[in-house]
């Protein structure tokens, strides 16, 4: 029977000497270190090292004095303490390993997402994870479906900045109305969505094709950085247009149409990403 108890205590991270000392104290306490060594069979040269280890772990208590005496924490309390500590360790391990696994698996990959609803679900997941900043380029139709999650993010202190195509009004986000939303919709033949969460992950794709909508999600820095910076440069341009629109349109035409035509490769000046 006692051998089984030794094995059980070893499974609770007791060494052989610690198990012998603890069981001896359970049978009779308080005891001096000398008495614990004598009754347990732990060598006298090791007993105080063993008792100090048990005391530091909270498995026994010490009554200081010229001749310290030792008493065990009751078995039920010991098991309770071990269970609480184990559960905390499991919770910490679960969280840490999940975060490590996620970052290790995802940071070098680019994932394809098909279907408008599936894309918006991934965007919502990105919003829910953000802790510092969300940059979102979006049309009104999709904004309305994301508004609840964006508001929750803002309420927990996340800076939400929206580049809006169409009349988007918000009391929780910094909204920049794109100066040529209608023209872009016409030129590109559809709506897209781009989100950057904490400058660490992006979702970007076309959302106006129903089940044929497609997007990419990635934490790959080679894409996260340039996509995030393009959105920031869009914000620069909108600030500049707000203050110097008349001067810029004098040089580049209404809504900078001459620039758009200059850098188009199609005779109709439209974009042909969506075939």
Range in 82-91, 106-115, 242-251, 266-275 with the lowest mean pLDDT: 266-275
Statement: residue 124 has pLDDT above 60:
yes
**DSSP-assigned letters across all residues of 10-36:** HHTT--HHHHHHHHHHHHS-SEEHHHH
Sign of CA dihedral 142, 146, 148, 151: negative
The pLDDT confidence band at residue 31, using thresholds 50, 70 and 90, is very high
Statement: residue 142 has pLDDT above 70:
yes
Q: Where are the domains of the chain?
A: 2-73, 111-262
pLDDT at 260: 79
Mean pLDDT of the 10-37 span: 91
Sign of CA dihedral 6, 10, 12, 18: positive
Each residue's pLDDT tens digit, 149-174: 999 999 999 999 999 988 899 999 99
pLDDT at 263: 84
pLDDT at 158: 96
pLDDT at 7: 83
DSSP H helical segments within 72-115, as ranges? Answer: 75-106
pLDDT at 267: 74
Cα–Cα distances (Å) from 88 to 31, 70, 83, 120, in that order, read 33, 28, 9, 35
d(CA 235, CA 254): 19
Tokens 């850098």 locate to: 263
The pLDDT confidence band at residue 186, using thresholds 50, 70 and 90, is low
The pLDDT confidence band at residue 10, using thresholds 50, 70 and 90, is confident
Q: 0.75 exceeded by the pTM?
A: no
Query: Looking at per-residue confidence, does 85 or 123 come out higher?
Result: 123
Q: 47, 45, 1: which is closest to 22 by C-alpha?
A: 47
The CATH number corresponding to 2-73 among 3.30.499.10, 3.40.50.720, 1.20.1250.20, 1.10.10.10 equals 1.10.10.10
Each residue's pLDDT tens digit, 45-103: 999 999 999 999 889 999 888 889 999 999 999 999 889 888 988 888 887 777 666 55
Residue 182 sits at φ, ψ, to 5 deg, of: -65, -40
pLDDT at 180: 65
How many other CB atoms are there within 10 angstroms of residue 137's CB atom?
A: 22
What is the rounded average pLDDT for all residues in the chain? Answer: 88
Cα–Cα distances (Å) from 102 to 69, 96, 121, 180, 234, in that order, read 51, 10, 18, 38, 30
Statement: residue 182 has pLDDT above 70:
no
Given CATH 3.40.50.280, say whether it is the number of domain 111-262.
Answer: no
Q: 201-206 and 31-32: which strand pairing?
A: unpaired
């Amino acid at each position: 029977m006692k051998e089984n108890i030794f094995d059980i205590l070893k499974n609770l991270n007791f060494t052989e000497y610690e198990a012998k000392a603890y069981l001896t104290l359970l049978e009779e306490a308080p005891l001096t270190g000398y008495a614990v060594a004598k009754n347990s069979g732990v060598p006298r040269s090791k007993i105080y090292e063993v008792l100090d280890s048990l005391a530091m772990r909270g498995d026994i208590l010490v009554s200081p004095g010229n001749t310290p005496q030792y008493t065990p924490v009751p078995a039920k309390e010991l098991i309770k303490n071990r269970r609480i500590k184990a559960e905390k360790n499991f919770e910490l391990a679960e969280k840490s390993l999940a975060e490590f696994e996620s970052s290790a698996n995802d940071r070098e990959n680019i994932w394809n997402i098909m279907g408008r609803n599936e894309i918006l679900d991934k965007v919502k997941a990105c919003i829910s994870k953000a802790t510092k900043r969300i940059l979102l380029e979006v049309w009104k139709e999709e904004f309305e479906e994301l508004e609840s999650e964006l508001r929750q993010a803002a309420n927990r202190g996340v800076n939400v900045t929206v580049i809006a195509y169409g009349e988007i009004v918000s009391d929780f986000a910094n909204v920049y109305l794109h100066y040529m939303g209608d023209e872009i919709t016409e030129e590109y033949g559809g709506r897209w969505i781009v989100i950057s969460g904490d400058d660490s992950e992006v979702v970007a794709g076309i959302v106006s094709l129903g089940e044929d909508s497609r997007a990419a999600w990635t934490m790959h820095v080679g894409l996260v950085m340039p996509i995030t910076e393009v959105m920031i440069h869009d914000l620069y341009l909108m600030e500049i247009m707000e203050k110097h629109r008349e001067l810029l349109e004098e040089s580049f035409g209404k809504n900078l149409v001459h620039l758009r035509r200059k850098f188009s490769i199609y005779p109709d000046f439209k974009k042909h990403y969506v075939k």
